[in-house]
A and B are shown apart, each in its own frame.
Chain A
Amino acid sequence: NAGVMQNPRHLVRRRGQEARLRCSPMKGHSHVYWYRQLPEEGLKFMVYLQKENIIDESGMPKERFSAEFPKEGPSILRIQQVVRGDSAAYFCASSPTKAHDQPQHFGDGTRLSIL
């Protein structure tokens, strides 16, 4: 499968724990985006990364959330000390360039549930 790979597909955490969500972009894609989808809502942009660099994090909450895209390995979205309001579907997308005519290809998402 050459698409965007996200894991895990489902993640359950207790309040106060840490959640780590992984995303491997499509082969040849160096631009990665994270979005969050709350129930019954559209996707909201969180962060845009290009290998080892955060380009735009205007949608990231100021505390507890961080993202990285190391030179080797997948992109990681990390949520520390999770709260009930973090329950959502988290989608990763990738594109080969930053050109605005390039579609972003999405993974299947990680459904995060906080108990």
Chain B
Amino acid sequence: AQKITQTQPGMFVQEKEAVTLDCTYDTSDPSYGLFWYKQPSSGEMIFLIYQGSYDQQNATEGRYSLNFQKARKSANLVISASQLGDSAMYFCAMREGGATNKLIFGTGTLLAVQP
């Protein structure tokens, strides 16, 4: 069965430092996509970055990069040069190929950036 696991309920990071948020997944489908979303305290869900299962290179979007280790089934989010505005909940999600199109979400990691 498809599953996303985020083992860090909460994390602290100093402003301007890098932080890694962990995500592991489980699927038997060879074709899938992995997504990270940010949910600030205001509640909206903001798409950050995408990694496809067949992508050869790790995805990057500005200060966000995805450390994709397919053999270990992990897709960790790296945020470089943390800013106070990065304080939020971060959700890892997976979508399999095929007929179903739903996203399976992890339980999230609450990141607090300290000045």
Pairwise interchain contact B101-A108, C-beta atoms closer than 8 A: no
A92 to B96, CA, bound (A): 19
A: which residues have CB within 8 A of B? 31, 33, 35, 41-45, 48, 55-56, 58-59, 89, 91, 93, 95, 98, 100-101, 103-109, 111
Pairwise interchain contact A44-B105, C-beta atoms closer than 8 A: yes
B: which residues have CB within 8 A of A? 31-33, 35, 37, 43-47, 50, 52, 91, 93, 95-97, 99-108
Q: Which residues of A contact B93 (CB under 8 A)?
A: 43
Taking the closest CB of chain B, its distance from the CB of A5, in whole angstroms, is 12
Q: CB within 8 A of A56: which of B44, B97, B101? A: B101
A108 to B108, CA, bound (A): 18
Taking the closest CB of chain A, its distance from the CB of B28, in whole angstroms, is 15
Pairwise interchain contact B108-A42, C-beta atoms closer than 8 A: yes
Pairwise interchain contact A101-B43, C-beta atoms closer than 8 A: no
Most buried by A among B32, B95, B107: B95
Q: Which residues of A contact B37 (CB under 8 A)?
A: 106
Q: Which residues of B contact A59 (CB under 8 A)?
A: 102
Contacts A/B (CB < 8 Å), 19 sampled:
A42-B91, A42-B108, A43-B45, A45-B102, A48-B100, A48-B101, A56-B100, A91-B45, A93-B103, A95-B101, A100-B33, A100-B95, A100-B96, A100-B101, A101-B52, A106-B44, A106-B45, A109-B43, A109-B44
Q: CB within 8 A of A42: which of B31, B43, B46, B107? A: B107
Pairwise interchain contact B102-A56, C-beta atoms closer than 8 A: yes
